[in-house]
C-alpha cells in the first residue's frame, strides 16, 4: 500500500486529467450553444483520444480511494489534502458527466448525434422518446413542460 503522503501527488495527476476533460466538455458545450451548426469533429476526436486515459484513471482513482479508506484516522488527519483531492476529483467527474449529458441532449435536439451512436432499436423506432414520455405518470408529464 502507498503511504498516505504518497497519495497526494498521484491524486493531483488524476485531478489534472479530469480538469482537462472538463475543459474539453465545456468547450463543446459552448460550441453547441453559440453556433447553429459547427464542426464538432475536433471535440469528438479529443474525446476518443482521452477515453483510454480516463478509464485507466478512474480505475486507479478507485484503488486510491480504497487505499485511503483503510488508512487509520490518525494518519489521515496528518494528510488532509488527500481527502480534499479525492472530493475534488469526484466533484469534477460528476460535472463532466452532467455537462456531457447536456451536450448529448443538445446534439440530439439538433439531429447532430451520429447515427452509429444510436442503437439499432432506437434507430428503427424514432418514436421511442415520444413513447417513453407518454408512459410517464400524468403528474410528472404536466410538470415537465
What is the model's pLDDT at position 145? 39
| Cα 62–Cα 46–Cα 24 angle in degrees, nearest 5 | 75
Please list, in sequence order, all residues whose beta carbon lies within 8 angstroms of the beta carbon of residue 106, skipping any fewer than 6 positions away.
Answer: 29, 32, 33
pTM of this structure? 0.72
Nearest CA-CA partner of 44 in 113, 118, 110, 122: 113
pLDDT tens for the chain, 145 residues long, are 567 778 999 999 999 999 999 999 999 888 888 876 556 677 778 888 888 999 999 999 999 999 999 999 998 899 999 999 999 999 999 999 999 999 888 888 777 665 555 555 455 555 555 555 455 454 444 444 3
Q: Helix 80-110 and helix 41-69: axis angle, to 10°?
A: 150
Answer for the pair 4, 68: CB distance below 8 angstroms, yes or no.
yes
Torsion over CA of 32, 13, 68 and 93, rounded to 10 degrees? Answer: 0
What is the model's pLDDT at position 124? 52
Nearest CA-CA partner of 26 in 103, 87, 94, 120: 103
What is the model's pLDDT at position 32? 84
What is the number of H-type helices and E-type strands within the chain? 7, 0
Q: Domain ranges for the chain, please list them.
A: 4-117
What is the model's pLDDT at position 14? 96
Please list, in sequence order, all residues whose beta carbon lies within 8 angstroms of the beta carbon of residue 122, skipping any fewer than 6 positions away.
Answer: 128
Amino acid at each position: 500500500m502507498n503511504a498516505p503522503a504518497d497519495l497526494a501527488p498521484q491524486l493531483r495527476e488524476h485531478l489534472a486529467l479530469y480538469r482537462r476533460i472538463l475543459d474539453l466538455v465545456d468547450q463543446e458545450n459552448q460550441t453547441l450553444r453559440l453556433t447553429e451548426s459547427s464542426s464538432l469533429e475536433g471535440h469528438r476526436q479529443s474525446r476518443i483520444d482521452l477515453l483510454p486515459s480516463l478509464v485507466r484513471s478512474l480505475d486507479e482513482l478507485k484503488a486510491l480511494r480504497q487505499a485511503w479508506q483503510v488508512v487509520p484516522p490518525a494518519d489521515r488527519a496528518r494528510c488532509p489534502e488527500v481527502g480534499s483531492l479525492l472530493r475534488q476529483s469526484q466533484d469534477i467527474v460528476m460535472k463532466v458527466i452532467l455537462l456531457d449529458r447536456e451536450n448529448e441532449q443538445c446534439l440530439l435536439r439538433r439531429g447532430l448525434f451520429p447515427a452509429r451512436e444510436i442503437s439499432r432499436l432506437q434507430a428503427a423506432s424514432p418514436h421511442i422518446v415520444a413513447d417513453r414520455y407518454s408512459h410517464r405518470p400524468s403528474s410528472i408529464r404536466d410538470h415537465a413542460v
